[in-house]
A and B are shown apart, each in its own frame.
Chain A
Amino acid sequence: MARLQINGATHEVDVPDDMPLLWVLRDVIGLTGTKFGCGIAQCGACTAHVDGKAVRTCVTRLGTVADRVVMTIEGIGATPHGRALQNAWLMIQVPQCGYCQPGQIMSAAALLSEIESPSDAQIDAAMAGNICRCCTYVRIRKAIKLAVSSQATAKRT
């Protein structure tokens, strides 16, 4: 029986230690906002946070996250970065099919919590692991920059 802290709530699950966090979230707990895309950490659709850092949950074994703080797309809106990013994503109308966007937003939120105002190279480096087959990248870039500037504005006022 493993104990997990997810989006502020405690969950106990009785599954093997080597089960990837992705399937614990989706199939066992029922948090389906975190998506399955490739299973080999190539697409980033399954990105969530562990202790505030972006991880690919499809290759993150349950045994490595017990007693750590897990955050998913369902919870990120409660954080200032997450809320700013979600708002920016709506302002810019980023998603098309939308399937990769939870992962995109989680990667962007981890980036902003590390680097408040990232350069283009830093955005590329942090977001290159997230594939979007609809190719909304142009808007993802804009939305990250909008979230940064809206947070900076909020801070000044």
Chain B
Amino acid sequence: MKRTLSLMAAFALFVGLVLSAAAADVRSDLVQRGEYLTRAADCVSCHTAPDGKQFAGARAFKLPFGTLYSPNITPDANTGIGQWSDDDFVRAMHEGIGKDGQRLYPAFPYPSYTLLSRDDVLAIKAYLFSLEPVANAPPHNHLTFPFNMRWLMVLWDWLYNPGQRFEVDASRSHEWNRGAYLVEGLGHCGECHTPRNLLYGLDPHKRFAGAVMAGWHAYNITPDRTTGIGGWSEVDLARYLSTGDSPHGAAAGPMAEAVDNSLRYLSRDDVGAMVTYLRTIPPQTSNVPAAHLEGAGNAPISASRLPPADELNRLHASAGVRIFAAACTGCHGWDGRGLAGTRDLNDPEATNLVQVVLKGFHLSAARGRLNMPGFGAGYADRELADLVNYVTGRFGAKAATLQADDLAKRRSEGD
């Protein structure tokens, strides 16, 4: 027997009320629920440009076939969605069709949002319409032929947009269903964690097996023990989702954004539900070994405690070890605290490690703040390649063999 989604919506409403009880007198229930759902759907990450006003759009997305700019979704009448009707908004979220009837590009994750109930979609709209309108017209998209032919998206949608609402699986617990709705729908986790095919469609045979996009590797989040998250405890998973931090490593790049902008606002029950659901998706294997944990303890990190003399003398010829000594040991020590055994270090391509080294990361969600400065501006490609090759060899599964040109290429990827 299938139940409608109203149960889910009711739950979300309850959570929203609890979270913002203090403000209950000033805003309607619908807007509060919409705010919670908007955060769970992480609309702000994509619809806000660096330094830009929230939801005013114009964030650039460099895709293999060109550059897209996110639209303004504040209620500004001319440049935003101020003139959109409920049906217009629902059609965009479910079918990927804009107010003017134009097909939207699937950088906008409507193949996931299509699972959302109409009520939830309209709650999101109510929240967005409660915001201050911002006049901001994003630049035009620059797409190469044939991707600039929006009508082709009809075909794409037929192939890749399931176009149906979430259906509750009665054989599973409420919690599981809630998790599925959050992971598959609102959270649209698969948009990054499932590899895409040549037509940019999500590969149905490799769901959540991990994928590289815009210079970052969204890791395998299936329960596979060797390359997925099968070895993580539920506590660690929940902590990671709500703080970005875990003994297996910290979130960086787009995942750090997802935590900062979205996941950390979810209720403990919703996070638990996501963990429950993730535990049940079919395991997939991938090429990055999961983290191997060592007993890290709580001792402060020492910058002294050098490697053995013969090893150091040998390594000293490499720029990598010298940069590690200068720039890294202050936080990671010579024993590589926070690095040793993590997936970033185990990835033979060092995809995320390179991005973190280049740009650093910032997590405001973790206890206090978790920061790493970026080193891209201060160091040459050759030096950073040497550094990454050294640290992966010393603290990861296998030394990377990056060249300066690889670093140059990675610099141009990502945001």
Q: Which residue of the partner chain A has the closest CB to B297?
A: A64
Number of A-B contacts (CB under 8 A): 92
B325 touches A125 (CB 8 A): yes
B326 at the A/B interface (Cβ < 8 Å)? yes
Interface of chain A residues 105 through 129 with chain B (CB within 8 A) = 107, 110-111, 114-115, 119, 121-122, 124-126, 128-129
Instruction: Check A129–B309 contact: CB distance below 8 A.
Output: no
Q: Which residues does chain A contribute within 8 Å of B327, judged by CB atoms?
A: 42, 129
Q: Binary interface profile of B, 98-127, with partner A (CB < 8 Å = 1, else 0)? A: 000000000000000000000000000000
**Are the CB atoms of B330 and A121 closer together than 8 Å?**
no
Asked if B305 is an interface residue, CB under 8 A from chain A, the answer is yes
Any chain A CB within 8 A of the CB of B159? no
Which residue of chain B has the shortest Cβ distance to A111 in the bound complex? B304
Q: How far is the CB of B314 from chain A (nearest CB, A)?
A: 9
Whole-angstrom distance between the alpha carbons of A56 and B285 in the complex? 40
A122–B325 touching, CB < 8 Å:
no
Give complex CA distance A54, B327 in Å.
15
**Range for the number of chain B residues in contact with chain A:** 20 to 34
Interface residues of B (CB under 8 A from A): 298-307, 309, 312-313, 316, 321-322, 325-327, 329-331, 367-368, 371, 373
- Size band of the interface chain A makes with B: 20 to 34
Q: Contacts A119-B313, A122-B312 given: A53-B306 contact, CB under 8 Å?
A: no
| Interface contact B312-A114, CB-CB below 8 Å | no
Contacts of B304 in A (CB 8 A): 53-54, 107, 110-111, 114, 126
Residue pair B305, A121 in contact (C-beta under 8 Å): no
Main secondary structure, interface of A, reads mixed
4 interchain residue pairs of minimum CB distance = A41-B330, A53-B302, A128-B326, A110-B304
Chain A interface residues (CB < 8 Å from chain B): 18, 21, 40-42, 44, 47, 50-51, 53-56, 59-61, 63-65, 68, 107, 110-111, 114-115, 119, 121-122, 124-126, 128-129
Contact of B305 (CB < 8 Å), options: A21, A63, A114, A129? A114
Neighbour of A56 across the interface among B307, B325, B331, B367, CB < 8 A: B331
The CA-CA distance from A27 to B227 in the complex, in Å, is 46
Query: Given B300, B321, B367, B371, which contacts A55 in the complex, CB threshold below 8 Å?
Result: B300
CB distance from A81 to the nearest CB of B (A): 12
B325 and A68 contacting across the interface, CB-CB below 8 Å: no
Q: Within 8 Å CB of A18, what residues of B?
A: 367-368
- CB proximity of A113 to chain B, nearest CB, Å: 8
Q: Within the assembled complex, what's the spacing in Å between the Cα atoms of A40 and B373? A: 7
